Amino acid sequence: MISMFGTYVNIVAVIFGTLAGVLFRKGLPQRFKDILMQAVGLAVLFIGLSTSLTGLLNPESDPLLFIISLALGSVLGELMGIEAAMERLGNRLQKRMGEKHSGVSEAFVSTSLLFCVGSMTIVGAMKSGLEGDHSILFAKSILDGVASFIFASSMGIGVIFSVFSLLIYQGGLTLLSSFLEPWISQAIIREISNVGGILIFGIGLNLLKIKVIKTGNLLPALFIPPIYLIIRSFF
């Protein structure tokens, strides 16, 4: 029987990290919240850039697939209106919580992408589902817990809603692991991570208010590499 224990631990870590961050945030003057947001933005920017560069510098990586995935994925995402749908959901959540909780939509979108995009999510979910080995997701839980504390300290309670994205995406990968396992190769994980890194970089640009990037609309780009590589494997 497939166990979701690793994902549940990840969710609990995000919840506790968020609540601790919100409590910490209450005592912070606005100028400290502002500088904390800038620090978080810089960190996210660097993580995203280093993730993509590390993968793209691999001789086995395919830079052309990277470019095509982003281009095609962005068009599909724009047609589907993913970013707008996520923002509407975030705005509804914020409205239910009251006006005093500002930035719920931005926090929800940013942390949902950050916690779900990356090789640890894919590999951890697959190992959790196939082998009952939750070690990677446990390590990811620590990282996400710390990140949720920092994000909640600067962005507020909206971070907590990213647990639904974790449950659906990471949990879904775990439940479907036995079906997906024959198709998930190291090449697919590498190419997804390359695209995912640049999405995280886009989140950093948004947090720093440098440029508004519709990172939600770039999500379909994550699915282009596996589709292409799986089709190519038949020829």
pLDDT tens-digit readout, 148-184: 998 898 888 889 999 999 999 999 999 988 888 888 8
CB 14 within 8 A of CB 166: yes
pTM: 0.84
pLDDT of residue 104: 78
Classify residue 21 by burial, with Cβ atoms within 10 Å: 0-12, 13-18, 19+.
buried
234-to-17, 28, 66, 176, 229 alpha-carbon distances in Å: 45, 57, 21, 22, 9
Q: Taking all residues of the chain, what is their mean pLDDT, rounded to a whole number?
A: 87
pLDDT of residue 78: 93
Query: Nearest 5°: CA angle at 98, between 95 and 38?
Result: 90
Gyration radius (Cα) of the chain, Å: 18
pLDDT of residue 101: 54
Separation of alpha carbons 182 and 179, rounded Å: 7
89 C-beta neighbours (distance < 10 Å), count: 17
* Choice among 28-32, 103-107, 122-126, 204-208 with the minimum mean pLDDT: 103-107
Helix (H/G/I), strand (E/B), else coil: 62:
coil
12's tokens: 């609990």
The answer to whether residue 44 scores a pLDDT higher than 60 is yes
Residue type present at position 153 = S
pLDDT tens-digit readout, 92-146: 877 776 655 557 777 888 888 889 887 888 888 988 988 888 999 999 999 899 8
Q: What is the percent of the chain with per-residue pLDDT over 70, rounded to a whole number? A: 97
CB 115 within 8 A of CB 166: yes
Cβ-Cβ contacts under 8 Å for 9 (sequence gap 6 or more)? 134, 137, 138, 141
pLDDT of residue 9: 95
